[in-house]
Amino acid sequence: MLIDTFGRVATDLRVSLTDRCNLRCTYCMPEEGLQWLAKPDLLTDDEIVRLVRIAVTQLGITEIRFTGGEPLLRPGLVGIVERCAQLEPRPKMSLTTNGIGLKRTAKALKAAGLDRVNVSLDTLRPDVFKTLTRRDRHKDVLEGLEAARDAGLTPVKVNTVLMPGLNDDEAPDLLAWAVENDYELRFIEQMPLDAQHGWKRDGMITAGDILESLRTRFELTEEGSTERGSAPAERWIVDGGPHRVGVIASVTRPFCSACDRTRLTADGQVRTCLFATEETDLRGALRAAPEDSTDGSDEAIARIWKLAMWGKKAGSGLDDPSFLQPERPMSAIGG
Q: Where are the domains of the chain?
A: 2-332
Query: Before 155, cis peptide (omega within 30)?
Result: yes
Which pLDDT belongs to residue 265?
95
- Annotated ligand binding at 69? The verdict is yes
Q: Is 84 annotated as a binding residue?
A: no
The C-alpha atoms of residue 290 and residue 305 are separated, in whole angstroms, by: 21
Residue ranges, the chain, pLDDT below 50: 196, 199, 291, 293
β partners of residue 96: 118
| pLDDT at position 107 | 98
Where does 257-324 show beta strands of DSSP type E? 261-264, 269-271, 280-281
Is residue 183 annotated as involved in ligand binding? no
Per residue in 163-213, pLDDT (tens digit) is 999 999 999 999 999 999 999 999 998 866 555 455 455 668 999 999 999
- Whether residue 120 is annotated as binding a ligand: the answer is yes
Q: Has 96 been labeled as part of a binding site? A: yes
Q: 287 a known binding residue?
A: no
What is the predicted pLDDT for the residue at 228? Answer: 60
Note whether 80 and 53 are within 8 A (CB).
no
pLDDT tens, position by position, 3-44: 999 999 999 999 999 999 888 887 777 666 677 889 999 999
303 is an annotated ligand-binding site residue: no
What b/e string do you get for 108-132 counting C-beta neighbours within 10 Å, with b at 16 or more? ebbebbbbbbbbbbbbbeeebbeeb
DSSP assignment, residue 41? G
Domain spanning 2-332: CATH superfamily: Aldolase class I (3.20.20.70)
Say whether 137 counts as a known binding-site residue. Answer: no
- The whole-angstrom separation of Cα 308 and Cα 292 is 22
- The strand pair at 234-238 and 244-248 is best described as antiparallel
The whole-number pLDDT of residue 190 equals 82
- Cα separation, 175 vs 143, in Å, equals 18
Determine if residue 256 is labeled as part of a ligand binding site.
Answer: yes
- Strands 92-97 vs 157-160: parallel, antiparallel or unpaired: unpaired
| Residue 157, marked binder | yes
| Four-residue CA torsion sign, 325, 333, 246, 228 | negative
Nearest by Cα to 283 from 299, 296, 292:
296
- Backbone torsions φ then ψ of 237, nearest 5 degrees: -80, 130
Q: Is 216 annotated as a binding residue?
A: no
Asked whether residue 25 is marked as a ligand-binding residue, the answer is: yes
